[in-house]
Structure 1
Amino acid sequence: MQTELKTSINTDLQQSNEKGIYRRFIKRPMDFLLSLIAIIVLSPIFVAVAILVRIKLGGPVIFKQKRPGLNEEIFTMYKFRTMTDEKDSNGHLLPDNVRLTKFGVFLRSTSLDELPELFNILKGDMSIIGPRPLLVSYLPLYNEHQKRRHEVRPGLSGLAQVNGRNSISWDEKFNLDIEYIDKISFIGDWIYIFLTFKKVVVREGISSETTATMDPFIGSREFTSE
């Protein structure tokens, strides 16, 4: 019994050390190298999409928004613009489903709008795989469990994205984010990278059932775990 317990403890320690080594010494250089290669290889697509966005939606071509990253530090995230700036008579922006054009839907369904985030990864704001960066306004709404999503850099894709993306509930999404953090590994990241490509090809989970993107998060103080 004692031998089995020691073996189990040693195995857990070894796995913990491997995760620590990957997180501290491998993950960031891998992100930098992969994002640099992707930017170079996809540069013709960057140019083509930028020109089309300018023609169909006008300027600016790049949508910039503040998002919380590692340790809740705020950074500027880049995406290709997918919506118009149409406003009502009071000067307020119209709902997303009104401002989201057919071309914008195409960019989102193919995830082409996410390409500029490769520069965020290159800079160190984001990672290839990790919890998606959400709105700054959500920060006060998180419970202690949900706040853990900021223990790592936010990702271009993640465990929640390959398991439903915007079609799953917020609780499911946050639980998957924390599950990723607890089980982060080199092999796991590569599995999620390949699954992300598959999701992009089949265009699953782009929207929720009620909105053009995702229902806003209104807070959930209870701890939920599956």
Structure 2
Amino acid sequence: MVDASLTPTILFALMAGVATFFSPCAYPLLPGYVGFYVSQTDAERATLGGSISRGLVAAVGVLGTFAVLLGATFWVGHSTLSNVVVFEPIIGAVLVVFGVLVVLERAPSLTVALPKRRSSVTGFGIFGAGYALAAAGCVAPLFIGVVGRALSLPFGAGAAVLGTYVGTVAVLMLSLTVATGLGVVAGGGRLAAAGPTLERLAGGVMILAGLGQLYLAIFILEVF
């Protein structure tokens, strides 16, 4: 059972995961991913099992990238990163401002090209890994904020926070892949057309995540 005092942090990690998945740097890659899926499964009958297996491979790619990023973060040192809590109000304010810019469609347009994907199920894992890297790089302050907050907590609570954040991104990648396989998303056109709306939605989530960060810093961590 989750400690009631940990609930705001878990909710923040959940919102941060959603904001990361729909980050402006990574979202433009999704229409290409849908097209990639269609091209890889055009000659075979789509099945729920096949969609789930491809989604799991993509999710594993996401988890692999975050494992590397978290490993590098821990390599820097627990004591150093634990002190990042003093920057949480700044991170929260940055997220709110960036979220507002995204909602107003005034955020800088940033994209990260993926390496050429192999024509196999492995390609889904490579895409998941590349997508996670692009997304985490786009919202680095958010990523650092989640990790810093997790490191300031006891091991079990910190693991729950990190698991919620990383798991949210992985589950969203799995869900998109399964939805594509079942024909819920037919090709990249519809997803591309929904781009502005989903980016504004992501901006709203970033604002909420930033406000959550400020709430944690001011009322729970009492940074000020």
Same fold (TM over 0.5): no
Q: Give me the TM-score of the superposition, normalised by structure 1.
A: 0.31
| Higher RCO, Cα 8 Å, sep 6+ | 2
Richer in helix (by share): 2
Q: TM-score when scaled to structure 2? A: 0.31
Structure whose residues are more often strand by fraction: 1
The structure that has the greater radius of gyration is 1
